[in-house]
Structure 1
Amino acid sequence: MQADIILETGRLILRMPVIGDFETYAALMASSRSTGMGGPFDKRGAWGLFCHDVAQWQLLGHGALMVDLKQTGECVGQVGINGGPLFPENELGWLLYDGFEGRGIAMEAALVMRDWGRDVRGLPSLVSYVSPDNHSSIAVAERIGGVLDNDAARPEPDDLVFRHFVR
């Protein structure tokens, strides 16, 4: 298995998922907030996604990290680099749990993950697949330098694709 990855910013710790993270993750995936990710999902579907996030580390050398607030230790969401047969390109993605939006957390976590992908994994480019109705994620993608790429392949025909040139 990939060694434990821990990334830090001034206020965040990004760490490997653990089983204790699943119930909160599953609750988000069961809610209407997961619509842009193909949800809502039942518990079985959420478990498959959670395991996919973890398995990518072993199979691809990247995957998802949970986002904790340093000050409280509270897990507030997830950021990751997704790949494999379900994604046309390596995707930089993020999600925040209810009540943590609007604080710059997603942007901060995504920047650290993007830079890790460039500096440690040597990825030449990443994309973010965003539902056109997800205005918050569109704003994050743009704030971290993503450029709309209308010609890129996408897993869902209606997704917007933001390209992050990391090299």
Structure 2
Amino acid sequence: SERARVFGGPFPREAAFDQLAELIGHWALRGFGRWMVADRTTDAPLGVVGLYHPEGWPEPEVAWSVFETAEGRGIAHEAALAARAHAYGTLGWTTAVSLIKPGNTRSAALAERLGARIEGRHAHPAHGLMDVWRHPSPEAP
């Protein structure tokens, strides 16, 4: 959809397939990845949330993308908290970031609600400048 414009979309079917393959392959290559978030009642897809660390990323990330039908329902917040808890509690991470394009006010507001703070910027060769939001450590209250 047009919401994918921030990352180069909307995508034709072949490019969307490549992204789906990347989601699955990340698990095999890194041992962690992102999950499809689905509606509890209808099983309709609502977004993709989880842990992400592709080549070229500065460090492991708590990442979220919700579909338009899921926005404003607290789904990304709940799923991102669960993903971060998994990173810290199960995988033993001691820190995590979220990379957010400047101007993506909804994602920045979510990062802030999660307790993350802007730490700097990362210049990615394909995605351009992204704000680096540092999440609170596992020990933080």
Count of aligned pairs: 136
Following superposition, the deviation at residue 67 of structure 1 comes to: 0.5
Secondary structure of the corresponding residue to residue 149 of structure 1 = strand
Pick the aligned partner of 1:61 from 12, 18, 31.
31
- Mapped pair 1:43 → 2:13: yes
2:99 pairs with 129, 132, 149, which one?
129
| Counterpart pick for 1:160 among 87, 109, 131 | 131
Q: CA deviation at 1:61?
A: 0.9
The alpha carbon displacement at 1:154 in A equals 4.5
Deviations 1:121-165 (A, max 9, x none): 111211111112211111111111111011x53434421111113
Match of 1:94 in 2: 64
RMSD value, Cα? 1.6
Percent of matched pairs sharing the same residue: 34
**SS of corresponding position for 2:70:** coil
Distance 1:63 1:154 in 2: 22
- TM-score normalised by structure 1 residue count: 0.74
Over residues 75-104 of structure 1, what are the superposed CA-to-partner deviations in whole Å (9 max), with x where a residue is unaligned? 211102111313121111111112211111
The separation in 1 between residues aligned to 2:25 and 2:133, in whole angstroms, is: 25
- Cα–Cα, structure 1 residues 53 and 86, in superposed 2: closer, same or farther, change >3 Å? farther
**TM (normalized to structure 2)?**
0.87
Task: Please give the alpha-carbon distance, in whole angstroms, between the structure 2 residues aligned to 1:79 and 1:162.
Answer: 16
Deviation at 1:60, TM superposition (A): 0.5
Q: Structure 1 unaligned runs (5+)?
A: 1-30
Gaps of at least 5 residues in structure 2 are none
Residues 78-93 of structure 1 mapped to structure 2, 5 A cutoff: 78-93=48-63
- 3-state SS in 2 of match to 1:160: strand
Q: Distance in 2 between matches of 1:82 and 1:38?
A: 18
